Structure formats: structure tokens, C-alpha cells
Amino acid sequence: MKLRSREVVSGLEGLPRRALLKADGLTDADIERPFVAIANSYNQVVPGHLHLRELGEAAAAGIRAAGATPFEFNTIAICDGLAQGHIGMCFSLPSREVVADSVELMLEAHRFDAVVAIASCDKIVPGMLMALARVNIPAIMITGGPMMPGEWQGQPLDIISAFEAVGAVKAGKLSEREAREIEDRCCPGCGSCAGLFTANTMACLNEAIGMSLPSMGTVHAVDAKKRRLAKQSGAQVVKLLRQGITPCRIMTRAAFENAIIVDMTIGGSTNTVLHLPAIAHEAGVKLCLDTFDRLSRRTPHICNLRPEGSHTMLDLERAGGVPAVMKRLGRLIRGSPLTVTGRRVRENLKFVRSSGSDVIRPLTKPYHREGGIAILYGSLAPQGAVVKYAGVRPRMLRHCGPARVFGREEDAVKAILGGRIKRGDVVVIRYEGPKGGPGMREMLAPTATIAGMGLLESVALVTDGRFSGGTRGACIGHVSPEAAEGGPIAVVREGDKILLDIRRRKLELLVPGPELKERLVRFKPPEPRAKKGYLELYQRIVSSAAEGAIRR
């Protein structure tokens, strides 16, 4: 077992560095042991991170018990819920790269031997995984766990209930007093937002890839089992160090395909189509959009969780969580990938009992015969677009209507709340892609408003931005090429007819070919929006959403 930390502390030359470590309170015995980092995104801003300090303490106890020395440091975490609907959302997706870079910098500069990464929420889990693949020292992920669901009038609540309440009040379907009651009850404590939104989807997929201990993805934040798993994870990473098992031995193509299959079968967030390719890129694996669609076509959708379904993350946890889902999928899951248990997937699943709960349906009785996400192509999206198939009402699987065109999210929300969007319309929001936003904002405010106003079965939304995992309805995002790069979405005109046919994977701008070509030739992109700071840099280096919005 070769220890990188010996570069820091060995020999006479290590004397001054040992002196600095002793200033931290370390003894000679501590310095002689392997050094294990704890990369933690704890903060007092994000509900999903409030409790991560406790998980760090539990992981440190496990590391010490296994004979190594823990060192904890922090990285940033942005709450997508707090950033929604204003300029702050421009900074959310770009923060993924900052998380990855900051973890890499700390691990490499201090020559840690192994790392426990502790995170929750949308961009932080993928950012951590990107760093773990990049540095490729023995590593394990601890995800913070879902928030408990709220409750009002006998119905489960989560943060999407609050967003949709805004539209419901505007439509006269809910009083302001009732909306305030939802506000007070929908988020009852710490944890990542309670539905199968991006945070909880990524926690489940992290487990499916094999980078966390079984059951980690669905154990709730307030459950003592989460702290026990954190302690076990601390001890387990020391075993991985002794066995020489590193992330790139775990995060193989087969492992990523297992994660995509789990994503499709549980109906996860469309943001995974950005995050999995970015993580895979760091691990030396290329995932293209066609991989998602190919696996979706042969994977049944067997879990119907909020926001579209009636079940909560708590229901999924009680039904056995990710291990029970993977067990139910049977031969659709590849058994060969290695995991952080030190065993292969098939060995981990060998003793998992198949769920008897209707939360995880049999493969013969799926909600949909195909998976929860579909990739669309056509004259409006030559390089692809993404839709949460599982969240679309049947009558909207094929829709043709006039375009209502907006150059930014705020203008679209004003139009929707002002009653200017009519049944049958296709709302187009452009210049919200990775470059155009910049930062590829989520469109939760307009989609939740459409839902709250009762327009889910009559209005579609198309954007080069992206959607929250809490989005439901005929909402097509990641349209590529984006408007800022001269994609066809840049030349859509008010009233143009747009056809979406999700079953046939089509997204078409119904404009004659020669006219569309002429519009594109005459198109001149506007000046970049960001003039300074991190976003100015980001818009220059970020790739297309079709490539995962990775750094070029």
C-alpha cells in the first residue's frame, strides 16, 4: 500500500511539514497513519446540508477506528430552490465545476491517501464525483439523504407544492391563506427536497454506480441509520485504500449504464443527462445522448414518485430503496461492476429481498413500457433535446401549437401569470443555455406556474435551458445547439408552429427548409450577457448541453 501522504511527512525533509501538522493537534502516532480527507459541503444555507457536519463526525470516527487519520475540509453548495426564478440560478450549474476543482485542489495539494466525500443536493454530488474520478484515489460517497415529506389536508407536500401554489393562487384555485399553510408545512426539516428531484435522483444513481454503500441513497436525513452508514463509510474507505480500489475501477461504462437504467426505471430528473456524462468524462468514459435513449427504450418505468407520481422518497426507502429496485430489474442490470463494498454488483444483490411493495412494480406491470427520459431530435433540436417522458400527461405526448417566444425566463413567467398564454400554445424560452444564460438556468418557476394554473394538459414548454427535477408536464429542455450558438431555437418567430412527438422522439419547427436555412444564415448572435466574474469565464469555456455542459 503506497501512501501519497508520505511525500508530505517522511524523512528529515518532512520535519517542517510535520511541525505544521502538530500545530493542528496531531501526535506522532496520528502522523504515522494514512491520511484520509473528508470533503464536506456542510453549510447553514442549504437545508440539504444542515446536518452534514454530524455525518462528517461519524465518518471521522469510522476512519479513526479503522486505523487512519481523518482531516475534514469544506467546499461550497448552492441551493437550487433558493436560487430559482432569478439571476442566482445562473450560478448553480457552473458551481459544479467549482466543487470539482476545489476538492481536486485540496486532495492533490495535501497528498491525501483516500477521501470520504459528503454532499447533498443537485450540483454538489456530481461535482464531488467528478473530482473523485479525476484524482482517482480510494474514495467513497456519503449522500445526505432526503427531507421528510410535509403534509397538508392528508396529502404529502414538498417544495414543488410551494412553487405550484403560486400559480394556483393566480388561477383562483387556492387562497393566499391556504398557500401560506403549504409554505409552512412543505419543508419540515433538514435533507434534500423530498421528491425524486435532482438531488435525490443523483443520490440514487451514485449508489447504482457503486460509489456509496447500499441503501445510502434513500435513507432519510433524520434517520439514525444515515449516521451509522456514515461511520461504516469512514471505515470502509480505509479498506479500499488497503485493497487498492480506486474510483476509476468502479466507475466503468457498465456501471454508468446501470445508473442510467436505474434512472429510467425510477423516472429521475433530466439533469442526470448533464451530470452523468460530465462524471463519466472525468473517468475516461464517453456517454452520448443516444446511450440514454437506447437504454430508455428497453427499460420499463416501474416507480412513480413525486413530482408526477403519488409515492414519496420515504415510500421508496421503506420498499427497500435502490438495492430493491436493482434486484427487481434482474438481468437488465449488469452484475460485473465493482463497488465500494469491495464486492461486485451481483454479490451485493445476492441477498437483497425482492420488494413486495407496490412502490416498485413488477416488470410485467410497469407504469410505462419505456424509461422515464426520452431524447428528441428534429429541425428544432439537431443535436438533441431532453424530456422527462414519465412526467408527461398522455394527451401531451403529441402536441402541435403556435410558438410564444421569450428571450429569458422572467418574461415567460410574467406572461403565464398574466394570463397571456393560452391552451395549445408552445412556450419557447431561449438564451438560457450554458453559454446564453449563461449557466443554463432551471425553468421551475414557469413549469410550476403552468402546472398550478391547470395548463399541464394543454401547454408545452421548450427551452435551451434546463428543468428542475421537480418539473412535470410537456417540458422539453437542453435544446441543442442553443440559441447563443446559432441553433434553430434562435430563429423561432412568434406564431411559428412547433410539433413535439415524444413517442417518435421528434421536435420539429414547422417552417419550410429553405426559409429556416435563410433565417439561420441571417442570424447574428447577441452580445454575451456576462461581462465580468466567473460567469464571463464560464460562458467562454463551457460546452454544449448535448455534451454534458462540461468544461472545454
Separation between Cα atoms, residue 204 and residue 200, nearest integer Å: 6
Q: Of residues 468, 480, 543, 544, which has the active-site annotation?
A: 468
Residue with cell 435513449: 293
> Residue 409 in contact with residue 447, Cβ under 8 Å?
no
3-state DSSP assignment of residue 231: helix
DSSP 245-261: --HHHHS-HHHHHHHHH
**Angle at 127 (CA atoms; ends 124, 133), nearest 5 degrees:** 140
458 is catalytic: no
Virtual torsion, Cα 467, 173, 177, 309, nearest 10 deg: -40
Local structure of 129: helix, strand or coil: helix
* Amino acid, single-letter form, for residue 374: A
- Cα–Cα distance measured from residue 133 to residue 142, given in angstroms and rounded to the nearest whole number: 15
Contact (Cβ atoms closer than 8 angstroms) between residue 130 and residue 100: yes
Are residues 489 and 428 in contact, defined by beta-carbon separation less than 8 angstroms?
A: yes
How would you classify the pairing of strands 155-157 and 497-501? unpaired
With the C-alpha atoms ordered 11, 16, 22, 26, is the resulting torsion angle positive or negative? negative
Of 438, 420, 430, 448, the C-alpha closest to 542 is: 438
DSSP 467: -
Q: Are 250 and 210 in contact (CB under 8 A)?
A: yes
Answer whether the bond into residue 438 is a cis peptide, omega within 30°: yes
For 325, what's the count of Cα atoms within 13 Å in the CB-facing half-sphere?
A: 33
Nearest partner of 133 among 281, 318, 353, judged by Cα:
281
d(CA 335, CA 339) in angstroms, rounded, equals 10
- CA 270, chain centre distance (Å): 8
**How many other CB atoms are found less than 10 A from the CB of residue 389?**
23
Q: Where are the beta strands (DSSP E) in 455-537?
A: 460-463, 475-480, 497-501, 506-509
Is 140:212 a contact under the CB 8 Å cutoff?
A: yes
CA distance 294 to 258: 13
**Residues annotated as catalytic (active site), given as ranges:** 468
